[in-house]
Structure formats: C-alpha cells, structure tokens
Structure 1
Amino acid sequence: MRSTESSLPGAVNAQRDERNPGIDLLRGISILLVVLHHTGLRIPLKHTALAGFLPRGLLDGLNYNGYEAVFVFFVISGFLITGNTLKRWGSLDRIDVKAFYARRFARIVPCLLLLVVVLSELHLLGFDDYVINRAGQSLPRAIIAALGLHLNWYEGHTGYLPGNWDVLWSLSIEEVFYIGFPIVCLLTRRVWVLVPLLVLLALSLPATHAALADNEIWQEKAYLPGMAAIATGVLGALLTARWAAWPPRTIALLGWLGVIGLGAVMLDGSALWHLLHDGYMLVLTWSALCLVLATTRRRARGGWSAMRGLGWLRSFGRLSYEIYLTHMFVVYAIVRLFKAAGSDIGLGYFWYVPAVLVSWLLGMLVARLVSIPSDRALRRMQLKPVVQSERRDLMNVEAVVAGGER
C-alpha cells in the first residue's frame, strides 16, 4: 500500500509547487508601485530635482499607479487560486472546502489580526497618523469593518481611514472572493456553466466602475470592479488548464501585448483614459492577464530563465502581502523624517530609497517572525483532520476492493 499522502490526488501535505518567477516579478513591480504611490502622495517626484531631467510622464507613472497595481494583484490572485485548486484537487467541483478555507485562513488572518491590534494600540495611545478622528468613524467600527470583510464599504460611506487601515480595502474584496470561490465551484459544478458567468463579470468592469462615479471612494473600492479583475484571472487559469500546449509565437505575442498594454496604462494612463474612459480598466486587467499567461506558459515549456539583476524585485513579489500590510508604517516615518530635515522638496527623491528598502526589510521580518511560523502551525492543526479523514476513506476503499477480490 502506497503512502496515503502521496497517492491521493488532493493530498493536503503535498509539496508546494515551485514559484513562478515571472509572476513574482509582476507582483514585485506591483507592490513597489504601491509603496511609491503612498510615498508620492506626500513627497511628489514631480516637485523634486528629478523633474529637471526626467519626463513628467515617467515621474507620474512611478507615483500614481498604486490603484492600478492593486488590480494587477486581483488578476494574479484569481489566476493562482484557481490554478492551485485545479492542481490540488483535479477539478473545481472536487474542491475540499474545509481544506481550502484552512489554507486561506492560515495565510491571511495572523498578519491581519496583528496589524489590527497594533493599529488599535496606536490609536488609543494617540499617535499622530494613526488616530481615527473623522466624523462618523470610530475604532470599534473600523475593527469590525477590517475583520468583517467590508472595510471598503465602510470607507465608501464614511470617508478615508488613516493609511494603515485604508490599505485593507483590497483585502476585504480578496476575502469575499476566498469565501465565495469554493461555494461557486460546488454550485456550478461544470466549467461550461462557470465560464460564461466569469466572462460577463470580467467584461462588466467598465460598466460597474462607471456606475459608481458619484462616489469617488466607493468607485475605487467597490466589490464588483475588484471581482471583475479577479474573474479575469480565474478565466486565465481555466484557459491554461484547458489548452496545455501553446505555440512559442502565441506566448511571445501575449507577452508583448501585456508589456505594451501595461506600459500604456502606467506611463500614459491619462491619455488612455481620455480615449477609452472606463474601458481603460479592461486594458489594465487583460494586459496583466496576458503577462501572467505568457510567463506561466513560457515556464511550462522550460523556456524561462530568471533575468539577472531582478532577484531583488522578485523578492518584493514574494513578500508582497507582508509589505502591503506594513509599508505605511515606513512611509509615515519617512515623511516625518523628511519634514524634520527641513522638507527640501528638491531632494525629496532621496527619501524614496529608505522608504523602499525599509518597507522590504519590515515585510521580510514580518514574514519570518509571523507569517511563516503561524502559517505552518495553523496548517498543521487545521489540515491534520483532513489528512486523517482522507486516509480513512482510502483504507475503506481498499477494504472494499480487497473484499471483492476474495
């Protein structure tokens, strides 16, 4: 009799697949843009000495694409969650709901809880930048919103929260996706039923984004636009699973379409918006998907070679969750140091270097001290009953087979 863990198609303790360096690179670029965005809102590059010799479009592209970067994360999330589900359980209708939730809980919740505790203490101690003092907002309500998957809705109805709280808007959308994904998989049960729904949702992005124009905050942070981006990634994973062999020319074409599309969004987004209006969002999400598909298929063909000199950026991608949750601590500290040093805006670009480096360092520390240990411990506790149940099921099947042979 073979080991249960190795013989079951959905073995919960199977070794993790090797990471996709292309996706890590895309994640790294995205989280870097988020850090640069939140720094740039306070120390704009266009007002520094760099404006004297670098194009305004490049400086704005570095500073004002944090929102777009989050939508790239949404596409990647939909792709990876779906792809890993198919690898682990063979098909979407065979997903183990308990194991899926256990894995998501172990990855997301420990850091989230720690962040909420730290932010609550900073609020109660009266630290500037962390006190919730907007009319209609309170600490208890912010905690409920952060843990109750609706901080985006809360901000849309009451206004922006302090920066460390504010970043949790996207996590609310992600968590709703995590909760709903296995349920939808089991209810639809057939890919041909699910795909048309995903296509409609993915293509609805311009309409759902435009429909909320009367409330700028809610327009940016509503569930449906974010879910549309996630649906785009889910479709990409299903496409990859359906057609395994892709011609090299197709892979190259997808890569170039992704680079050109995202380049247009990041470097000339204003012109693209004037041309396409809310259709701009589709260029963003589908260009991101093109890059994800290209890197995935290229790696599957064995053609991927990690580009030299970009390992540091891929490391940002591997730490993207931890950096995303904690980088505002660094941004606030850097801005205070900038002001204490005299607020010389001409040299403002100098402060970006420590902002980026310390954000990575803090993310790395959180990963090593919190994320990785808690993830391992929780998975051992939560997934052990699933493994035992699978072992019993397999033994029962073997007993029936053995009985039939006698």
Structure 2
Amino acid sequence: MREAVPEMKAAGSRNPGIDALRGLAIVLVVFNHLGIRIPLEQSALADVLPTWLLNRLNWNGYEAVYVFFVISGFLIAGNTLRRWGSLAAIDARAFYARRFARIVPCLLALLVVLGALHLSGVQDYVIHRAGQSLPGALLSALGLHLNGYEGRTGYLPGSWDVLWSLSIEEAFYLGFPLACLLLRRRALLVPPLVLLALSLPWARAALHGNEIWLEKAYLPGMAAIATGVLGALLADACRPPRRTAAMLGWLGALGLGAVLLDGGALWHWLRDGYMLVLTLSALCLLLCCRWRAELGEVPPRRGLGWLRAWGRMSYEIYLTHMFVVFAVVRAYRAWDGDPARGWLWYLPALGLCWLLGLAVERWLSVPSGRWLQARLMGAGSCGRARVQAG
C-alpha cells in the first residue's frame, strides 16, 4: 500500500476504456427501453439476424445498470484514493460537495419538468396508479427510496422509473465517507466489502416473489457497488505484469459477453449466480483498463469515439433518454406503426438521446456543477484537473 499523503492529489484524466464500457451500458439501457415498445424481433431485421441476438440487444438493460454500479464503486473509490491518498484521509465535506454538484442540478431539473408534465396531463408522464401521487414520487426521489416506493406501489411512468438506480447510488454516496472514516484501515474495510459483494446471488434469491423489489432492492445494487470499491483498492495496491492485465481484459470480455449474449443459459446453470459473473467480469475489464492505462498501453481506439462520448455523458443521457423514447415511439405509431420497419427508428432515437445528453451536459450539468463546487468548496477546486466522474 502506498503511503497516504495529507494533501489532495492531482486529479486523473479520463480513461477511454472505462468510458467505452460505460457507453456500452447506457446504449443497452436505451435499446431496452425502445425494445419494450418497438421490439427488434418483430422487425425486418429478424429476416437477416438471429432472433436470439435481437432479443439480447433489447433485454440487457437491467444487467447494464449493474455494470454501472460496478463502475460507480470503482471510480468513486479510485478517485478518493487519488485525491486523498487513502480512504481514511477522505474529506467528507469535499466528497459530499462534489457529489451534490454532480447529481443534484440535473435531478432537480428533471423533477421540475416531470412534475409540470404530470400536472399538465401529458400522456406517458401522468402518475395514475392507486397509491401513487406526485408528492409521493417527488419525496421518494429526493429521499433516496424511489426503488422502495415502486416496490410498494408498482411501476411509475418511465421517466420516473429510471431514478430507482439513483436511489441506490445516492445511498452509497452518503454512507461511503462515513464507512471510510469509521473503519479507517483496509483490514477492517475489506472483509465486509467482500461479504457484501459475494452476497449478490443470495440477496436476489431471497427477493423472488416481488418482481419490482427483486430488480430494485438496495442490497443487490450495493453488492455490485462493493465489487467496484474492492477493485479500486486492488488496483491501488498492486501493479501486475502487462500479460496479467491483458488476461484480465480477455476474461472480463468473455464473461460479460456470456451474460449479455446468453444470460438464459447462465441462469439455467447458475440461477442468480449469473449476476456475480456479470459484476466480476465488469470488474476484470475495469482493472484491465486502469492498469493498462497506467502502463501507457491504451490509446483511444479509432471508431469508438462516439461510444466514449456516450460514456462521458452517461448520467445526462440516463436521466433524459425516456423523453426521446416516448417521442420516437409516438412518432413511430403515428407514422404507420409497422413492426417490420420498427428498427429504422432506433438510429434517430440514439442520435436524439446523444444530442439531448450533450445539451444537458453543456448548458446545465457542467456549468451548474462548476458554480456549485466553487461555492461549496472554494474557487480553487474548479481550477484543478477534472477526475473521471463516477
């Protein structure tokens, strides 16, 4: 373990491999929400591509969110180690200020827009289930328990529903600095993280019976985040040979591909254990990206710039993509609603999701984040180099 330093370390640059992995995850989320409404298996693509492949393109959104969880834990813990030298030296006030500046402006803007659309009676945005209300949805989103709210009352409209994962991540952000300051030593922090990470299959198995809560409960999501935190600690503690890093990359790609392309077969053999294959495979890829970047071996691959851009804007796209999905689906149905031509609507949907995410990043999240950081942490904080956001 490297010696902790009291001064905040310089921020690191973005990792192109991690951005690409995060970009893949957000693309799969968008494909999932489009596929629920415009299934690729019913389109003309089924005449040239196997149905199982089209189904996997449409039905990996849930797994993609768990990849996000692993990435989040990895980046948050890794950035903490780079800034403060050790988890025990974390500045909780600065940590919370950064997370607040990153998350809250876009979240509040989204809630204002959704509230206005609900009150205006706009179809696809009206909260109408028994037991649900606009105040209840707002309080659950701001109180970090929208996942629990849906578990009790049923699914919210799509643009609200995406906030379930944010409830889990925000709960992690609140508890992470406290756990670091309370336990302080890695020897005390690592064992509970290992137990939490490995609990994922059993945590899911215990929740069968409530479909919504099975998907959105805190404990499975926290298990995936804990996997990422453990990976950041491992990446900080050792530097393996190039061959080992490359082998981890191939192992991670193989495992992730197996889950995304044939998760049904893995479920048949492993049941809920297939989610552990997913999180550990994502972790292998993250470790490979981190170690190979430190060895100077990972120049950005040509042709993947668009995917890295999606990864950079994954938070903005995740919060706003349902506006595009609903608009594109309505246009598709108004045009002719022919399932055979449904695949043609995917490309414009992806382009519009990217443009909306870019607009939100450029005109809301980046300027408001800088403004908030300058006031919460002091003007000097905004002059430092930018760390890859979690």
- Fold equivalence (TM over 0.5): yes
291, 298, 317: which one aligns with 1:297: 291
121, 144, 154: which one aligns with 1:149: 144
| Map of 1:96 onto structure 2 | 91
| Map of 2:374 onto structure 1 | 380
| Map of 2:78 onto structure 1 | 83
114, 125, 130: which one aligns with 2:120: 125
In structure 1, distance between residues paired with 2:65 and 2:283: 13
In structure 2, distance between residues paired with 1:171 and 1:27: 15
In structure 2, distance between residues paired with 1:189 and 1:316: 35
Instruction: Tell whether 2:277 aligns with 1:249.
Output: no
In structure 1, distance between residues paired with 2:300 and 2:142: 38
Runs of at least 4 residues of structure 1 off by over 2 A? none
| Map of 1:39 onto structure 2 | 34
Instruction: Tell whether 2:352 aligns with 1:340.
Output: no
315, 318, 321: which one aligns with 2:312: 318
User: Between Structure 1 and Structure 2, how many residues are aligned?
Assistant: 377
Are 1:82 and 1:234, in contact at CA under 8 Å, matched by a contact in 2?
Answer: yes
Following TM superposition, by how much is the alpha carbon of 1:162 offset from its aligned partner in structure 2, in angstroms? 0.2
Are 2:328 and 2:345, in contact at CA under 8 Å, matched by a contact in 1?
Answer: yes
Post-superposition Cα deviations, 1:79-129, rounded to whole Å, max 9, x if no partner, equal: 000011011111111110100000000000000000000000000000000
Are 1:254 and 1:293, in contact at CA under 8 Å, matched by a contact in 2?
Answer: yes
Following TM superposition, by how much is the alpha carbon of 1:253 offset from its aligned partner in structure 2, in angstroms? 1.1
Following TM superposition, by how much is the alpha carbon of 1:208 offset from its aligned partner in structure 2, in angstroms? 0.3
Aligned partner of 2:211: which letter?
Answer: E
Are 1:60 and 1:267, in contact at CA under 8 Å, matched by a contact in 2?
Answer: no
Higher radius of gyration, 1 or 2? 1
Post-superposition Cα deviations, 1:233-292, rounded to whole Å, max 9, x if no partner, equal: 00000001111x211111111011111101011110111111100000000000000000
Instruction: Tell whether 2:272 aligns with 1:274.
Output: no
Following TM superposition, by how much is the alpha carbon of 1:17 offset from its aligned partner in structure 2, in angstroms? 1.6
In structure 2, distance between residues paired with 1:262 and 1:84: 24
| Map of 1:115 onto structure 2 | 110
In structure 1, distance between residues paired with 2:379 and 2:326: 44
Aligned partner of 1:376: which letter?
Answer: R
Following TM superposition, by how much is the alpha carbon of 1:57 offset from its aligned partner in structure 2, in angstroms? 2.0
Once the two structures are overlaid, the 10-residue window that deviates more, 124-133 or 299-308, is: 299-308
Instruction: Tell whether 2:321 aligns with 1:327.
Output: yes
16, 32, 53: which one aligns with 2:48: 53
TM-score using structure 2 length: 0.95
Following TM superposition, by how much is the alpha carbon of 1:60 offset from its aligned partner in structure 2, in angstroms? 1.2
Superposition pairs of residues 258-273 of structure 1, within 5 angstroms = 258-273=252-267
Where does the alignment leave 5 or more consecutive residues of structure 1 unmatched? 1-6, 388-406
196, 200, 203: which one aligns with 1:201: 196
Post-superposition Cα deviations, 1:116-143, rounded to whole Å, max 9, x if no partner, equal: 0000000000000000000110000000
Following TM superposition, by how much is the alpha carbon of 1:306 offset from its aligned partner in structure 2, in angstroms? 1.2
Are 1:99 and 1:386, in contact at CA under 8 Å, matched by a contact in 2?
Answer: no
In structure 2, distance between residues paired with 1:66 and 1:21: 22
| Map of 1:359 onto structure 2 | 353
